[in-house]
Structure 1
Amino acid sequence: MASFGLQVIRGLFGLGEHVAPSLAGRAAFELFCRTPNVKRPTEGERRALAGAAGFMTEARHHRLKHGAGCIAVHEFRPEPGRASGATVLVIHGWRSRTEYMRALIEGLRDAGNRVISLDLPGHGRSSGRRLTLASAVETVALAQQWFGPFAAIVGHSFGGAVAVNAVSGFVRGTAPVPVQRLVLIAAPCAISAIFTGFSDMLNVGPRARAAMSRTVERVAGHRLEAFQGDRQLAAVPVPTLVVHARDDREVPAWHAEQYADAGGHVRLCWADGLGHRRILADDGVVREAVGFVDSGKSDLRD
């Protein structure tokens, strides 16, 4: 049963659909972009952060000015004598942060890569309480200016969608970020599907949804329905590894299948039984991702 607060919100959006659909659509968009309060972690999040405290001391920490706030960037360098000369960008998902990407970061670093990990706006040690796809892509472009070029980008969940949009240059006002390899782990392909699930939960009606799409177009330069990762990858044939679990309840498996349909440059690897978040810490997934990134280093040297 929905909480009382959710019932009230659903009632308000139901009323807004009939009285002021444009206003309701803009309000729904702002709710969608609202990030969790990082100062109020759950008990599980507290334990995870405490467990990663030592790991985070191994990084060099940077802060970049972005819009009205600052972006936290964490730089993990390989041991002296093991550096390959390649730099890899790692992007976490919604309600996540660098600490939760630890296994991937350690695997990439131990293979000789310099790893740059972002805390997206409103997440981790970055400031703010709002995140859009456009602002996330802007932070990737900013990181590329300061720490690039990147041999590869590895993105989990929303971070994978950010990576695709950054590499394709699909968001208005941002140039494509050049890379040799992409790794997408449990990443959504159709952004509109995420909005649909969110709208269904809040009882956002069709006219208000249309207003949401217009707001997306104003912010990012395209209507919501245009943000299709498979089409973006088809237009930019960067070798891509897609890793997904068929039992993922947050991002259904058909998203991975759509990515795989983008062309022969996309390889799909199933990691069944690992869901949406456990997939990040799996040794087999880490080996697969690191091996795929390493296979592109010859391209970088050439």
Structure 2
Amino acid sequence: MAPFGLKVIRGAFGFGERVAPALTGRAAFELFCRTPSPKKMTEGERRAVTRASSFMSEARHHRLKTRSGCIVAHEFRPQGRAAAGTVLVMHGWRSRTEYMRSLIEGYRNAGYKVVSLDLPGHGQSPGRRLNLVSAVEAAAQVGQWFGPFAAVVGHSFGGAVAANAAAGSVPGIPPLATECLVLVAAPSSMPAVFADFSRMLNVGPRSQKAMAGRVKRISGRPLDEFMGERQLAETPVPTLVVHAPDDKEVPAWHAQRYADAGPHVRLHWADGLGHRRILADRAVVTRAVDFVRKRHLVVH
């Protein structure tokens, strides 16, 4: 967001906090859910998508209906052999399947079929709106078509979606069936995510309360219940958490919160890899694949 535009928005939210916090809170929530315009990719993003065009051509593309619209899932089959199982991969905010290429190829090379979901408003999935409920709903729809899964793997917001989907944290949406989870650079606390957003845009406490009320109306649960350590503690699915101590987008304490959920959660620190470089690191990919393969062999 340009500095001038941010200054105007901060001023508007500051004024709204004083005169109409309910209205301001609703507006802030809608802005929070607004996804980036696909027409405004950076030059680096365009290059990444172009470089991955041949990789994407290897997939079967499925358009699935959800209650709030439709989504696109990309099915990558292992080459030359029957699939050992199916892995669901989910990207983060302002991301798409192309950016998950290293992890997808790692699981394919290990013999897994990989289904990668473009979350609503991202990649090839249409729309300009995304929240945790619509994301969990999208994951559940993919689960109906392709599950159960050997693993669900998520980066950043996609990791939070994976944890919430597996825990069945949204009333009315059944838990996503998976043998294990891999959460890469994932936020564990949705209240903290909302608080960071509010600080950035000068959303005051009364407006924040209205935002939280909007969450409860949409999800059926209070905002403060969307805590990753609580969800994983109540859902003892073997989980690998991979995080970089220098991650500036999702601070490292989020990973430690997940790890505190219980002995079924393993934490690996990927030093020096930040929030996005972590996705392409060979050692991280190897660790993520081996974690799933070992648990899959135990189950089967």
TM-score (norm 1): 0.97
Residue 67 of structure 1 deviates from its aligned partner by 3.2
Report the Cα offset of residue 68 of structure 1. Answer: 4.7
CA deviations over 1:154-177 (Å, ceiling 9, x no partner): 000000000000000011211111
- Aligned match of 2:104: 105
Q: Aligned equivalents of 2:26 and 2:157: distance in 1?
A: 21
Q: 1:245 touches 1:253 (CA, 8 Å); kept in 2?
A: yes
Tell me what 1:266 maps to.
Answer: 265
Structure 2 distance, partners of 1:167, 1:67, is 19
Query: 1:70 Cα shift?
Result: 2.1
1:158 aligns with 157
**What's the CA shift string for 1:72-104, capped at 9, x where partnerless?**
1100000122x3430000000000000000000
Q: Hey, what does 1:40 align to over in structure 2?
A: 40
Deviations 1:153-210 (A, max 9, x none): 0000000000000000011211111211100000000111111111011110000000
- When the two chains are superposed, the root-mean-square deviation of aligned CA atoms in Å is 1.2
TM-score, length basis structure 2: 0.98
- Residues 180 and 299 of structure 1 are in contact (CA less than 8 Å); yes or no, is this contact kept in structure 2? no
Please tell me the residue identity of whatever aligns with 2:146. F
In structure 2, the residue corresponding to 1:79 is in which secondary structure?
coil
Name which of structure 1's ranges 72-81 and 95-104 shifts more when overlaid on structure 2.
72-81
Q: Structure 2 vs 1, CA of residues 2 and 131 (structure 1 numbering), >3 Å: closer, same or farther?
A: closer
After superposition, residues 73-92 of structure 1 pair within 5 angstroms as 73-81=73-81, 83-92=82-91
Query: Which structure 2 residues correspond to residues 90-169 of structure 1 after superposition, within 5 A?
Result: 90-169=89-168
By how many angstroms is 1:300 displaced?
Answer: 4.0
- Deviating beyond 4 angstroms after TM superposition, the runs of 4 or more aligned structure 1 residues are none
What SS class does the counterpart of residue 95 from structure 1 fall into?
coil
Quote how far apart the aligned CAs of 1:298 are: 2.3
Read off the aligned partner of 1:257 and give its amino acid letter: Q
String of CA shifts for 1:250-277, please: whole Å, max 9, x gaps. 0000000111000000000000100000
Equivalent residue for 1:60?
A: 60
1:11 matched residue in structure 2: 11
Rounded to whole Å, the distance in 1 between the matches of 2:299 and 2:145 is 19
SS in 1 for 2:250: coil
CA distance in 2, matches of 1:149, 1:70: 21
**Residue number in structure 1 paired with 2:195:** 196
Unaligned runs of 5+ in 1: none
1:151 and 1:300 in contact (8 A); partners too: no
Which residue number in structure 1 is paired with residue 205 of structure 2?
206
The answer for unaligned runs of 5 or more in structure 2 is none
Give the 3-state SS of the residue equivalent to 2:40 in structure 1: coil
Match of 1:26 in 2: 26
Rounded Cα–Cα distance in structure 1 between residues aligned with 2:31 and 2:298 = 42
Is the 2:84–2:112 contact (alpha carbons within 8 Å) kept by the matching residues of 1?
yes
| Alpha-carbon displacement from aligned partner over 1:25-67 (angstroms, at most 9, x marks no partner) | 1100000000001122110001101110110011111101123
Which amino acid in structure 1 is aligned with residue 38 of structure 2?
V
| Offset at residue 222 of structure 1 (A) | 1.3
8 A Cα contact 2:78 2:113, kept in partner: yes
Counterpart amino acid of residue 41 in structure 1: M
* Letter of the 2:179 counterpart: Q
How much has 1:233 moved relative to structure 2? 0.1
SS of equivalent to 1:268: strand
1:88 is paired with a residue whose SS is strand
Please give the secondary structure, in 1, of the residue aligned with 2:94: coil
Q: State the AA in 2 paired with 1:234.
A: A
Measured in 1, the distance between the counterparts of 2:159 and 2:6 equals 29
Residue type of the partner of 1:3?
P
Q: 8 Å contact 1:167–1:176 — kept in the other structure?
A: yes
| Alignment match, 1:255 | 254
Single out whichever of 9-18 and 266-275 deviates more from structure 2: 9-18
